[in-house]
Amino acid sequence: MMSIYHHFKQLTALSCAAAALSFSTFASADTWRYAHEEYEGDVQDVYAHKFKQYIEENSEHTLQVYRFGELGESDDIMEQTQAGILQFVNQSPGFTGALIPEAQIFFIPYLMPTDMETVVEFFRQSKAVNDSFPKLYEAQGLELLKMYPEGEMVMTVDEPITSPEDLKGKKIRVMTNPLLSSTYEAFGATPTPLPWGEVYGALQTNMIQGQENPIFWIESGGLYEVSPNLVFTNHGWFTTASMANKAFFDKLSADEQQMIRDASEYAFNETVKHIRGLAEKSLAKIQNTSDNVTVTRLTDAQIAKFKERAPQVEATFYEMTGDSGKQLLDQFKQDLKVVTK
Ligand code: 6CS
C-alpha cells in the first residue's frame, strides 16, 4: 500500500507536470506576423493564407497576415522583417536587388521558358533556386522558404508597340532594381524605377507611358484603365519569394522548423493550382470590362528583335554580381536544361 506521503509526492509531480504542460502550451501559442505585397485574393495573398491555414491546423500558433499598404511598401515590410518586428515576409526579387544583387537574375530577359508547367517544374527542381539562393538570403538575416512564379510578364503601354524602336522616348516603370532598368534600356525605352504605390497615379498623369506585370495584377490593380495596350513579349516571369527572419527561425524547435517548411510546400502547391489558367481568366475579365484595351501578341520575328538585346543585360548582370552571379547563372542555365529537355 502506498503511504500518504507517496500519494502526496505523486500528486505534486502530476500537478507540476500539468502546470508545465499548460505553461508550455500557453508559452508556445504565439501570434506570428506575415506581410506581403499584394491585395485580397491576389497570388501572394493566396500563398499567405494557405501558409496560415497549414500553420494554424498543425500547431498552436496563429498567423496574422498583412496585405499591401497595411504596413507600407515592399521595402518597409522587408526592413520590419530584418528588424524582427515581422516574423515572415513575401518580397519579390524585383525589390530585393539592392539587398541581394543576385536576386536580379530573374530580370535577364528571355532566360525563363514561357510554358507555365516548365516554369513550375523549374522552381521545384532548380538547384540555383533551392540550394544557392537560401545561402544568399541567409547572409542578409533571412531564411528563404520558397521562391515561386506568379505569372508571365506583359507590358502595358500608351499605344500598341511591336519593336524596340517603338519604345523610344517612352518612360516605362520598372520595379526598383537596377538590372530591370538595364533590360528596359536594352529594349529601347527609358526605364523609370518606382515603388508599387506610385504606379497607377504615374500612368494616369502620363508621367510614365507604360509598365510590366502579370495579367492578374494588371486586372486586379486596374492598370488596364490607365495603360490599356497589352503587349505579350514573352520575355520573363514575375517571380516572388517568401521568407522568415532567420534569428526567429533559428530559435524554433526542429519540429516547428519542419512544420514551417511543410507549410511553405503546401502553400507553394496550392498557389500553383491557383495560377493555372489565371492569366486567361484575368484577360477575359479585362476585355469584358473595357473597350479600350488592345492585345498585341508579338510574332517570333518581332520577339527576335527584343531577344537579340538580352546578351547585353546578361553582361550587366555579371558586372553587378561578379563570380557569385556567374556561378548562379551557370547553375540556373543547367537547371533550365534539365526541365526543358
Ligand atoms: O509591380 C509591382 O510592384 C507589384 N507587382 C506584383 C505582381 N506584385 C507585387 C508588386 O509590388
The confidence score (pLDDT) of residue 14 equals 44
What is the tens place of the pLDDT at every residue in 291-317?
999 999 999 999 999 999 999 999 999
* 42 Cβ inside 6 Å of ligand 1: no
Structural domains of the chain sorted by starting position, each given as residue range(s) with its CATH number in brackets? 2-340 (3.40.190.170)
The confidence score (pLDDT) of residue 28 equals 76
For residues 97 and 176, the answer to whether their CB atoms sit within 8 Å is yes
What is the residue with the minimal CA distance to atom 9 of ligand 1? 37
What is the tens place of the pLDDT at every residue in 37-71?
999 999 999 999 999 999 999 999 999 999 999 99
How far apart are alpha carbons 11 and 337 in whole angstroms?
A: 66
What is the residue with the minimal CA distance to atom 7 of ligand 1? 217
pLDDT band at 275; cut points 50, 70, 90: very high
CB contact burial 143-181 (16+ within 10 A = b; e otherwise): bbbbbbbbbbbbbbbbeebbebebbeebbbbbbbbbbbb
Sign of the Cα pseudo-torsion (267, 268, 269, 272, in order)? positive
Residues 6+ apart with CB under 8 A from 52: 34, 63, 65
Tell whether the model's pLDDT for residue 3 goes beyond 70: no
Number of the ligand 1 atom closest to the C-alpha atom of 211: 1
pLDDT band at 341; cut points 50, 70, 90: confident
Tell whether the model's pLDDT for residue 283 goes beyond 50: yes
Tell whether the model's pLDDT for residue 246 goes beyond 50: yes
- Paired strand residues for 239: 149
- Paired strand residues for 243: 89, 144
* Mean pLDDT of the chain, nearest integer: 94
* 37 Cβ inside 6 Å of ligand 1: yes
* 325 Cβ inside 6 Å of ligand 1: no
* 92 Cβ inside 6 Å of ligand 1: yes
Number of the ligand 1 atom closest to the C-alpha atom of 173: 1
What is the residue with the minimal CA distance to atom 5 of ligand 1? 213
The confidence score (pLDDT) of residue 6 equals 52
